[in-house]
Amino acid sequence: MAVLASAGVEDDASLVERLRTGDESAFVALVRRYQARLARLALATVGNRAVAEEVCQDTWLAVVRGVDRFQGRSSFKTWLFHILLNRAHTAVGKELRAGRPEQDVEERFDASGAWASPPVPWSERADDRIVAEQLAPRVRALLAELPDSQRQVVALRDVEGLSAGDVASLLGLTAGNQRVLLHRGRSRLRALLTADMGTER
């Protein structure tokens, strides 16, 4: 909080308090801060840009209407993402492909859902940051190829930076399920990226 204040950036809690009083500039500030992140998460969840835009609009409308009920038990960001995910799930209805097994990654896990042979973390390679910057656009595009449950977990953990506990809470998962879906999603993304790069050679 102190860092935000010293940098001249108002924190979320202050903006929320101003929003409760009807301060339109506080709403504009929150939209500027989170709209791009909401749009990414919505698209990752519903897989359709037009639907994602509607989900974002519905989410901001729900924020304005429900800000008085926000009690601060979670961060504003977590509350905001929770609203968006609810709207997104409503938008796609029962057409979600959540949890459909992926044959090419299933053998990487044992019967308990743990890694059969843990991969080497990408961060342990010296040039990972450079490579990651170059590959980020491809990874974002390939994210749409994941099953919905894996895509949502990967987007929330790796794109939005939420904690494992927050993601499990937002998606109604156990800690173990969240961990397995994250591993499977990352593994599937790696396989897709490898195949994608191979087609260009």
**According to the model, what pLDDT value does residue 8 have?**
62
State both tokens at 66: 């429900």
Question: Does one domain contain both 61 and 129?
Answer: no
**According to the model, what pLDDT value does residue 129 have?**
55
State both tokens at 167: 């993601």
What is the number of domains present in the chain? 2
A 10 A CB-CB count for 62 gives 15
What's the CATH number where 111 sits?
1.10.10.10
Q: Which of 56, 76, 95 is the last residue of a domain?
A: 95
Average pLDDT, integer, range 29-41: 92
Question: Does one domain contain both 36 and 64?
Answer: yes
Q: Which of 55, 73, 95 is the last residue of a domain?
A: 95
Question: Does one domain contain both 85 and 107?
Answer: no
What's the CATH number where 62 sits?
1.10.1740.10
Cα–Cα distance measured from residue 100 to residue 177, given in angstroms and rounded to the nearest whole number: 13
Question: Does one domain contain both 80 and 134?
Answer: no
Question: Does one domain contain both 108 and 194?
Answer: yes
Residue 188, pLDDT above cutoff 70: yes
Question: Does one domain contain both 40 and 107?
Answer: no
Question: Does one domain contain both 82 and 119?
Answer: no
Question: Does one domain contain both 117 and 188?
Answer: yes
Q: Which domain holds residue 187?
A: 103-198
Find tokens 């019967």 and name the residue.
111
Residue 87, pLDDT above cutoff 80: yes
**pLDDT, tens only, 2-20:** 444 445 678 899 999 999 9
pTM of the full predicted structure? 0.63
Average pLDDT, integer, range 155-182: 87
Average pLDDT, integer, range 150-177: 87
Q: Which of 49, 76, 95 is the last residue of a domain?
A: 95
Residue 143, pLDDT above cutoff 80: yes
**Do 11 and 126 form a contact (C-beta atoms < 8 A)?**
no
Q: State the first-to-last Cα distance of the chain, in angstroms, to the nearest integer.
A: 49
Tell me which of 199 and 80 has the higher pLDDT: 80
**pLDDT, tens only, 46-69:** 877 888 888 999 999 999 999 998
